[in-house]
């Protein structure tokens, strides 16, 4: 008898609604707090509205993770619907307590096997795990096979991004390393990435053009190593910039499938408007 597996993730994947519906991916939202008011990401606040509200805000926005009770409620519902197992995939435990809250909640549900999976990244890098897990669950693949496939994606995966201003990351406490301040003073374009679940400075580059070229060089190496079959360009409320880079990458690397995604409210709180990123892995 096949076990019935449900896939849960959080709102920082920024998966399109049609993908979530088609693959039956359950989403627990994180929240952003603007001028003392809390908004559930994706439910009470869209990305476009978020960036507009931040411009008008009197204070620096912050984000908050879902309470364990939200996970307990969802897991109980999934159990009632006949699921035996839940794979709960979340943004890096190095920048949020969401993964830990999901893992803790999972231990409290009797008769349901909850496997919490730390993506060690966020946005569509995390979304790639949720999509793969859901596709395999719908195909009745066993849990062990799904986790092995997620681990293969993690081994191949990489993500690099640039921000227009490092202040958001510093004020939000999400950037490791005091050298970041020097970067903002020198008006350079820092390239950031995740290392050991944390956001750290990868390299300092003088212009955005050079930064994009540097990321493309890293992608080229990944393609040669057969670890970049699908990629996402991710933008912070600047679809024109995202689409322009996407078109350039599609022409330069026709062997890779490229798609466009975005930095929504929670991640936008830390990266700020105008951020641009690229993530890739195996399909």
- Tokens 């510093």 belong to residue: 170
Strands 85-90 and 5-10: parallel
Share of the chain above pLDDT 90, in %: 83
Q: Average per-residue pLDDT in the chain?
A: 92
The confidence score (pLDDT) of residue 163 equals 86
Instruction: Count how many Cα atoms sit within 13 Å of the Cα of residue 252 in the half-sphere of its side chain.
Output: 14
pLDDT at 60: 87
Q: Are strands 158-162 and 276-281 parallel, antiparallel or unpaired?
A: antiparallel
Query: What tokens appear for 189 in the block?
Result: 């374009």
SS3 of the chain: CCCCEEEEEEHHHCCCHHHHHHHCEEEECCEEEECCEEEEECCCECHHHHHHHHHHCCCCCEEECCCHHHHHHHHHHHHHCCCCEEEEEECCCCCCCHHHHHHHHHCCCCCCEEEEEECCCCHHHHHHHHHHHHHHHHCCCCHHHHHHHHHHHHHHCEEEEECCCCHHHHHCCCEECCHHHHHHHCCCEEEEEEECCEEEEEEEECCHHHHHHHHHHHHHHHHHCCCCCEEEEEECCCHHHHHHHHHHHHHHCCCCEEEEEECCHHHHHHHCCCCEEEEEECC
Residues 257-269 have pLDDT tens digits of: 999 999 999 999 9
Checking if the pLDDT of 168 tops 70, the result is no
Burial tier of 255 (Cβ tally within 10 Å: 0-12, 13-18, 19+): exposed
Angle CA(160)–CA(163)–CA(166) in degrees, nearest 5? Answer: 120
Residue with tokens 């990458």: 249
The predicted-structure confidence for 80-139, as pLDDT tens digits, reads as follows 999 999 999 999 999 999 999 999 999 999 999 999 999 999 999 999 999 999 999 999
Q: How far is CA 167 from the centre of its chain?
A: 20
Separation between Cα atoms, residue 276 and residue 228, nearest integer Å: 18
Residue 176 has pLDDT above 70, yes or no: no
Assess whether pLDDT exceeds 90 at residue 173: no
Nearest to 8 by CA among 117, 157, 104: 117
Whole-prediction pTM: 0.93
d(CA 21, CA 36) in angstroms, rounded, equals 32
The tokens describing 89, both together, are: 């995939």
Give the pLDDT score at 185. Answer: 54
Q: What is the pLDDT of residue 2?
A: 64
pLDDT at 184 over 70: no
Q: How far, in Å, CA of 231 to CA of 215, rounded?
A: 12
Q: What pLDDT score does 179 carry?
A: 53
Q: Tell me how far apart the alpha carbons of residues 267 and 176 are, in angstroms, rounded to a whole number.
A: 16
Number of CB atoms found within 10 A of residue 96's CB = 22
Q: CB of 129 within 8 A of CB of 11?
A: no
């Amino acid at each position: 008898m096949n076990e019935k597996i449900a896939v849960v993730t959080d709102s920082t994947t920024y998966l399109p609604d049609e993908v979530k519906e088609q693959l039956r991916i359950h989403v627990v939202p994180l929240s952003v707090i603007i001028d003392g008011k809390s908004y559930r990401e994706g439910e009470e606040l869209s990305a476009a509205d978020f960036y507009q509200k931040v411009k008008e805000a009197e204070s620096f926005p912050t984000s908050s993770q879902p309470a364990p009770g939200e996970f307990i409620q969802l897991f109980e519902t999934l159990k009632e619907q006949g699921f035996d197992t839940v794979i709960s995939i979340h943004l890096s435990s190095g920048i949020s307590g969401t993964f830990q809250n999901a893992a803790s909640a999972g231990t409290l549900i009797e008769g349901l096997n909850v496997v919490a999976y730390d993506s060690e990244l966020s946005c569509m890098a995390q979304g790639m795990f949720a999509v793969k897990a859901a596709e395999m669950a719908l195909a009745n693949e066993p849990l062990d096979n799904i986790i092995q496939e997620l681990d293969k994606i993690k081994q191949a995966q990489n993500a690099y991004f640039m921000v227009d201003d490092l202040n958001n990351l510093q004020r939000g406490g999400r950037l490791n390393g005091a050298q970041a301040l020097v970067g903002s003073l020198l008006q350079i374009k820092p390239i950031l990435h995740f290392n050991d679940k944390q956001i750290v400075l990868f390299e300092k580059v003088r212009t955005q053009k050079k930064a994009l070229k540097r990321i493309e060089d890293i992608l080229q190496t990944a393609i040669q190593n057969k670890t970049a079959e699908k990629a996402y360009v991710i933008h912070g409320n600047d679809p024109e910039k995202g689409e322009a880079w996407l078109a350039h990458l599609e022409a330069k690397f026709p062997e890779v499938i490229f798609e466009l995604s975005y930095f929504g409210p929670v991640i936008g709180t830390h990266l700020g408007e105008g951020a641009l990123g690229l993530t890739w892995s195996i399909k």
